[in-house]
Structure 1
Amino acid sequence: MPSLPLDTPTVHRAALPAAMLLPLLLSACGGGNAVLATESANPAAACAALSTNAQLSSTTLSTSYVPPGTRRPGGAATGDFLPGHCVVTGAINPRVGVDGKNYAIGFQLSLPDRWNGRFLFIGGGGNDGILRDTSLSSSISGGTPSPLGQGFAVVSTDAGHTGTSASFGADPQARIDHAYNAYDKTAVASKSLISTRYGRKPDYSYFSGCSGGGRQGMMFSQRFPDYFDGITAGAPAMRVSSGATVAAMWNTIQFNTIAPQDATGNRILSKAFSSTDLKLVANAVNASCDAADGVVDGLAQNVNACKAFDPSVLQCSGGKTDSCLSSAQVGALKSVFAGPRNSAGKALYTGQPWDAGLAAPGWRSWTLGNSTTATPDARYITLMVDALVNEFFTPPDLSFNPLAFNFDTDPARMAAYSAIYDTYADDKLAAYKQRGGKLLFIHGMSDPIFSAFDTGDYYERLSANNGGVAATQNFARTFLVPGMNHCSGGPATDNFDSIQTMVDWVEKGVAPQSIAAKALPTNTDFPNRTRPLCPYPQFAKYKGSGSVEDASSFVCSAS
């Protein structure tokens, strides 16, 4: 039997029941390293027995055993096969909501035959409502080989409802489940099932997610600080129901106002800016600040150098052409990137960073969409308005017109839900820090829905409350990704293994001085480029020699 990796957590034999000590084997080729005693003579039978042996109330379970060598992560046609594992599908607290619909907290837990002692909860996103494939990695760690394939026990949840529509907002309990209760119940149930299957609790527990999943990670750090040893919060939606959604309405109104009209006078949102227009802006941003990291290479690593960019440099002196922007376009960009305000001038959310990733498809899909008609398909409309009218408003207001959003009065209608859903207010994390938890923030600089400035602002407040940045980095670090859109994509080195980074920090005490990142061969801007992602406030600075495609030519620097 091959040995597990050398960093496999140590087995605590005293915690194992006598019946499980017999399968404990010593590796024949690993220098005497113990192989975890998690195997069963009949893993398929052990999987089936979970349905009856589980100590869970108000929960229905079904199990399915996947033999080794029969399935690849995500059902891929090529690549390494998964090990044998048990897939447990559960439904906690099934009930009928006040809207007459059936509800339950659904979850999917995959338990490998040969467990490495680690538990990973992968976060959701959007309006949730689906069970994410637990054979895949977290949405903020595309560079991580399948954690299940590595021996992690992995769980996901639908957050208490089925379907990606936010119509569940009509049921008060479904709102609470989506805010925090579903994650609590899923984590507790998962750890109970792990104990039933393996005879002991996890050695280490991790959470990793992006967008809504990042919000869920922050929720755990605050409401349930003892559940996880390490939490990775990508593009954390910390102010989604009180800030980012307001910004989405603001941005939609600004862009729609300047969009051309169809034959009936209706505006075509996607045509407010052509792809050529956005590329023009991206090139101007790089011309303004790319060199501030020591080399002109199409990636502005020194993000603070871009704050002074002014799109007025692109304004046409005469008629509109492909080499300049109209005054209306310049004005809309200024308003959007400055962020929403009420009539008194009070900021309602942070602005957006100037970054060349705004010309990438991921930025357009959120802000402008691609519809060639007056029926918009931007995710600001298709996703955020759905969440706003069904869930973020209290009570729901399904007839609301987003183009009529009132920035003086409508934010108050979002405050009640924000109090239980948003996570920006706790900027101390005292309990999570005290229990020794580690926290990673990862955020793309061209994220069009959750501003990297908002994460930076939160981290600065967190640092101020914990003895400064140097002291705060002992338990929380922030990594900004130039060029990256929402969770991935864009002209960026957006492929990295944040899960292994967290494992090394938690289990070995190796705090990340940088995270190795690369652009995939399919990246049309910088195929195969590598870079170090640096902990804020540092950035990747060119050393002065070496290939600009190679991470070894860069060093993390604060100046």
Structure 2
Amino acid sequence: MRRPMPSHATVQRRQPRRGVLAICTAAGLSLTACGGSDDGPVQLSPATGATLSGACTELAAKLGTLSNTSITASTTVPAGTLKVAGNDVPEHCLVTGKMAQRTSTVDGQSYAIGFEMRLPKAWNGRFYHQGNGGIDGSVVTATGSFGGGPTTHALLQGFAVLSSDAGHAGSLGPTFGIDPQARLDYGYQAVGKLTPMAKSLIQTAYGKGPDRSYFGGCSNGGRHTMVTAARYADQYDGYVVGAPGFNLPKAAVANIFGAQRYATVATNPADVSTAFTAAERATVANAVLAKCDALDGVTDGLVQDTTACQKAFSLATDVPTCTAERNGSCLSAAQKTAIAPIFSGATTSTGAAVYASFPYDSGLGAAGIAFWEFTAPLALDSGAVGMIFKVPPEPVAGFNGPVFSLTSSIDTLVAQINATNATYTESAMSFMTPPNPTDLSKVKSRGGKMIVYHGVSDAIFSVNDTTSWYEGVSAANNGDATGFARFFRVPGMGHCSGGPATDQFDLVSAIVAWVEQGKAPDSITATARGAGNAGGVNAELPAAWSASRSRPLCPYPKVARYKGTGDVESAGNFSCQ
């Protein structure tokens, strides 16, 4: 199907052939369809703003013709009512509603795609679709956040922003997965339904549709973003992808694999965290720093050269082996045997890889790691795998998450997340993941851009998985995808934020500058969130660091290296090499 030309001067090519441009425009065809690819890379034009037309309170009545949509309210939010990192969000209109309301014939529950849109009175001409985390189920405030501890969100910058619950109520928890359509909406179809509705709503509110459309989120929101780039590339121009769980069913099974390994060495069978205590994790993190910190030219509590570190560090030889009782300063031989396979990557009984490996990094000792390693596999991954991802799902009655995770066969779970039947016609590995994930040709050909970031110390979605994906994208583009997609690893950072890291950065401005002005991000300045930080204080920041330490985040495979002189707390004294 031919893609219609958007309403505002859509594309510009570097040194376009004017005759071809005129013919294509007259025919209503895209430049690519007219062979414009010979003219060089697409450069999308900047968005132009508009003012909300009419009163916000009257908007609900005007939106009555939206297909399969019920608008529940449209109310004015005065300037300063909503704040982002201490900044007053300007006056805007809050529209709430539901799409595709239905009653399931499978579980009898009521379903709908709940959403809210926040429409600035002074609009910048852009639309931002906010991908939310976890198993969704909640219409999170539509500020246009993306993780990473930013002090500015898309709404604050003047975007119209959409947030949704992805098609189910949070009160259902993972049991929404009993309904096959709710699975598909969560996986990808809610985005497909919401996107044209949101653009129509914007058209009604401002008298014009968005000139530029962006999608962003972290964790499951990063997954949503990658899936959208694969399935709905004709609808969006830019993507901010954070810690993407684009292989989420595999990652969840791998986390269950990890819990089973920990259980074999837990000193308290009822508490798997006793398998790898906070003191022991700090010991390993310090051993990683001792071996790898200086690889980037300076000893500063950060491992910038992640790749070199994995070659240099050995859990077996660089962490002391206990010769007596465990006391936090060593690991027992049994612990090393149990823990090493978690980092090298979960496998089936035949040795087949389930998911990616995890790197050793300085953030392993951070407090947030414990939740993902010991709580999540029993409290979250159990329900997600048991009721949302596997076919058939577990019965709701009597389901016990910890028992499910600690006793299930990994081989069986791997088979079940790939299975289908007459009721569940798409497997989890189909509805949750981007089809042909390394094929971003549609994003590239329309002039779209993608910025991906991932914490190296993320304990639930592996930065190694994202690294492998990006290498695949590069391979599919003659070894270089940097013209439209760049990947930034964040040393020390945990899942989306936190850890001993410079975890605050503005990627909204960066993606707009790249998409609309052609300014590719050669580096992104990231800062620490120490005392007094407007974006919230990072409690895991080392005391020896400056409260406002900064570092350049470098596009993979480049690494931030110290220049040899100057304040080690300043990004200006590091370069991407």
TM-score (norm 1): 0.87
Contact kept in structure 2, 1:438 and 1:506, CA below 8 Å:
yes
* Matched position secondary structure for 2:167: coil
Q: Which residue of 2 aligns with 1:140?
A: 147
Q: Which residue of 2 aligns with 1:541?
A: 561
Shift of 1:235: 0.8
* Matched position secondary structure for 2:410: coil
| 1:162 lines up with 2:165 in the alignment | no
Shift of 1:452: 0.3
Partners in 2 of 1:184 and 1:47 — Cα distance? 27
Aligned positions of 1:191-206 closer than 5 A: 191-206=199-214
| 1:274 lines up with 2:282 in the alignment | no
Q: Which residue of 2 aligns with 1:551?
A: 571
* Matched position secondary structure for 1:367: helix
Q: Which residue of 1 aligns with 2:521?
A: 512
1:440-472 Cα shifts (integer Å, max 9, x gaps): 110000111110000000111111111113xx1
Which AA in structure 1 matches 2:550? T
Contact kept in structure 2, 1:444 and 1:488, CA below 8 Å:
yes
Which AA in structure 2 matches 1:334? A
Which AA in structure 2 matches 1:486? H
Partners in 2 of 1:292 and 1:424 — Cα distance? 37
* Matched position secondary structure for 1:226: helix
Shift of 1:150: 1.9
1:426 to 405, 424, 437: 437
Partners in 2 of 1:66 and 1:149 — Cα distance? 16
| 1:336 lines up with 2:356 in the alignment | no
1:474 to 472, 483, 487: 483
Shift of 1:159: 0.3
Cα 1:348–1:114 shift into 2, 3 Å: same
Contact kept in structure 2, 1:140 and 1:498, CA below 8 Å:
no
Which AA in structure 2 matches 1:543? K
Shift of 1:72: 2.5
Shift of 1:310: 1.4
Q: Which residue of 2 aligns with 1:390?
A: 387
* Matched position secondary structure for 2:568: coil
Q: Which residue of 2 aligns with 1:371?
A: none
| 1:88 lines up with 2:95 in the alignment | yes
Which AA in structure 2 matches 1:60? S
Q: Which residue of 2 aligns with 1:31?
A: none
Aligned positions of 1:177-256 closer than 5 A: 177-241=185-249, 243-256=250-263
Contact kept in structure 2, 1:444 and 1:487, CA below 8 Å:
yes
| 1:352 lines up with 2:358 in the alignment | yes
Cα 1:131–1:93 shift into 2, 3 Å: same
Which AA in structure 1 matches 2:346? P
* Matched position secondary structure for 1:176: helix
Partners in 2 of 1:390 and 1:408 — Cα distance? 17
Which AA in structure 1 matches 2:315? P
Cα 1:358–1:51 shift into 2, 3 Å: farther
| 1:38 lines up with 2:43 in the alignment | no
Contact kept in structure 2, 1:51 and 1:63, CA below 8 Å:
no
2:498 to 455, 469, 489: 489
Partners in 2 of 1:336 and 1:85 — Cα distance? 47
Cα 1:326–1:117 shift into 2, 3 Å: same
Shift of 1:11: 12
1:441 to 429, 442, 452: 452
* Matched position secondary structure for 1:146: coil
Partners in 2 of 1:48 and 1:256 — Cα distance? 59
Q: Which residue of 2 aligns with 1:15?
A: none
Partners in 2 of 1:167 and 1:52 — Cα distance? 36
Contact kept in structure 2, 1:144 and 1:500, CA below 8 Å:
no
TM-score (norm 2): 0.84
Contact kept in structure 1, 2:227 and 2:435, CA below 8 Å:
no
Cα 1:394–1:35 shift into 2, 3 Å: closer
Contact kept in structure 1, 2:138 and 2:169, CA below 8 Å:
yes
Partners in 2 of 1:35 and 1:168 — Cα distance? 41
Shift of 1:407: 2.7
Contact kept in structure 2, 1:38 and 1:114, CA below 8 Å:
yes
Contact kept in structure 1, 2:48 and 2:211, CA below 8 Å:
no
2:136 to 128, 133, 151: 128
Contact kept in structure 1, 2:297 and 2:562, CA below 8 Å:
yes
* Matched position secondary structure for 2:290: helix
Partners in 1 of 2:48 and 2:461 — Cα distance? 43
Contact kept in structure 1, 2:56 and 2:74, CA below 8 Å:
no
Contact kept in structure 1, 2:72 and 2:98, CA below 8 Å:
no
Which AA in structure 2 matches 1:63? A
Shift of 1:66: 2.8
Shift of 1:350: 1.1
Cα RMSD over matched residues? 2.1
Aligned positions of 1:254-293 closer than 5 A: 254-261=261-268, 266-293=269-296
Aligned positions of 1:88-127 closer than 5 A: 88-97=95-104, 98-127=106-135
* Matched position secondary structure for 1:119: strand
Q: Which residue of 2 aligns with 1:71?
A: 81
Aligned length: 506
Contact kept in structure 1, 2:144 and 2:161, CA below 8 Å:
no
1:422-457 Cα shifts (integer Å, max 9, x gaps): 127431222222111111110000111110000000
